[in-house]
Amino acid sequence: MTDLLLWIVMAACLIVGCPIFVSLGVASVAVLFFSDIPMSIIALDMCKVMDMFPLLAVVGFIFAGALMEKGGMARQIVDMAQIFVGRIQGGLGITTILGCLFFAAMIGSGPGTVAAMGSIMIPTMVRRGYSPEYAAGVCATGGTLGILIPPSNPMIIYGIIASTSISKLFTAGFVPGFLLGFFMMVMAYVLARRAGFRGTIATDGELKFWPQLRKSFFSLMAPVIILGGIYAGICTPVEASVIAIFYSLFVGLFITRELKLAEIWDAIKMTNASAGSIIIVLGVSTLFGRILTMQRIPHLLANWMITLTDNPYVILILIGLLLLFLGMFMETLATIVILAPIFLPLVLRVGIDPVFFGIFWVVTNEVALLSPPLGVNLFIAQKLSGITFERVAKGAFPYMLLIIAFIILLIIFQDIPLILPRLLGM
């Protein structure tokens, strides 16, 4: 009875437009009210989130990303990318994907990557004759790489929930991340060629390689320092996020000299808003997940799916379809916190590697960032481009189909994410 009440109350809250964390919280309290479970677990589970030490890395990378954007590091990365691909037809679209790949290796956030690259590239592409739909679509899509290229905030949350090595998850994200980025660049070229968009070079006259390399050197070194410290065993992901903050302050204040006190304050406010929402969702989702476990819902669901099939490929397809559907309505991190404890026992039972499953989950969440009506990346691109939400979604639709095709590729070839961890003996 109580498990049915849980879903009815949550569905009702979502239908009337309550935020996801309110819906989860109200449903959880409703079940506790009609059960013998003490209400004290609300405070215990909400406070438990504060003991998740790796969660500090999420806050650190969000702050570092905001500082990098406001300190001019994102723009220098874009200028460097244009030197290599600017003359190709659709070169600015390809430059955007390259910039997103590079910036994603520093901040770990999909929406943050869209905000950083879109604020620079969308106006530039429109001025150069690209359609607003193309510009907004390629920026919204390229931003999804922010959660796949390490460091990745969803990977950190999944690693906490699944008790899986975060460093190993980061390593596993490289090959699929760069492979998907390459496919996106091909798509950007094909769409630009079909629309007749011409190649261009730089925004302010021709940029020469060596002068621009010297100018952008410290910005280009950021992912080397951040990720190199993690993989060399010098620092943990949390410590790497702190290093990223101090490094972005150093570059913004003393190298680019674009970071002022006002920009630092804006970055702090942006971080408070983003990190606060994540912690609230995570806290309420932890309580919701505890109630699911007490109601034995993960166990019952796993047994039900096993009665349908024990084929790992079919199970991944079923889970993927569910995640694609829920991604239209639920925030990315919320799906991980709520559903990972449910599906992990099942995938382990049929022999699916938990590291692969983490990468698979993150890639399906990339589609969620582009799926209306939630589609966080679409809303950010809409704000930056000034066009309607529908036009942004239309521009991103071919890339969304591409990501879905890539998910199918991962299901068929599950060793793709595990290539690098195995080579490194992790």
Instruction: List, for residues 395-406, the tens digit of each pLDDT value.
Output: 999 999 999 999
On average, the pLDDT of the chain sits at 82
Identify whether residues 90 and 128 lie together within a single domain: yes
Whether 16 and 118 map to the same domain: the answer is no
In a domain, 57, yes or no: yes
198, 61: one domain = yes
Residue ranges of alpha helices (H) inside 196-260 are 209-220, 222-231, 237-250
- What local confidence, expressed as pLDDT, does residue 86 receive? 64
CA 419/CA 354 separation, integer angstroms: 14
d(CA 238, CA 402) in angstroms, rounded, equals 33
Is residue 414 assigned to a domain? yes
State the Cα–Cα distance between residues 12 and 95, nearest whole angstrom: 44
Residue 48 lies in a domain: no
Closest CA to 248 of 60, 56, 39, 49: 60
| Interior/surface letters 310-324, b for 16+ CB within 10 angstroms, e for the rest | eebeebbeebbeebb
For residues 252 and 303, membership in a common domain is answered with: yes
Looking at residue 52, its pLDDT comes to: 65
Q: Does the pLDDT at position 316 exceed 80?
A: yes
Q: How many domains does the chain have?
A: 2
Residue 354 has pLDDT above 70, yes or no: yes
Regarding whether 340 and 288 lie in a shared domain, the answer is yes
Same domain for 122 and 81: yes
pLDDT at 185: 92
What does the DSSP 8-state code read for residue 206?
Answer: P
Between CA 137 and CA 20 the distance in angstroms is 26
Residue type, 182: F
Segment 177-207, tens digit of pLDDT: 999 999 999 999 999 888 887 766 544 445 5
pLDDT at 38 over 80: no
d(Cα 249, Cα 329) in Å, to the nearest integer?
A: 36
| Shared-domain flag, residues 117 and 141 | yes
Domain assignment of residue 17, given as a range: 1-37
| Amino acid at the residue 334 | A
Looking at the fold, whether 338 and 250 belong to one and the same domain comes out as yes
Report angle CA 19, 160, 237 to the nearest 5 degrees. Answer: 110
Mean pLDDT of 248-259: 89
Question: Residue 259 falls within a domain, yes or no?
Answer: yes
Checking if the pLDDT of 173 tops 60, the result is yes
The proportion of the chain whose per-residue pLDDT surpasses 70, expressed as a percent, equals 89
pLDDT value at 63 more than 80 = yes
> What's the rounded mean pLDDT across residues 317-344?
81
pLDDT at position 205 is 45
Q: Same structural domain for residues 233 and 111?
A: yes
Does 229 map to a domain?
yes
**Residues 84, 21 share a domain:** no
Asked if residue 342 has pLDDT above 70, the reply is yes
User: Are 253 and 319 members of one domain?
Assistant: yes
Are both 29 and 66 inside the same structural domain?
Answer: no
Instruction: Report yes or no: 188 and 138 within 8 Å, Cβ to Cβ.
Output: yes
Handedness of CA 175, 176, 178, 182 (dihedral sign): positive
- φ/ψ of residue 414, rounded to 5: -75, -10
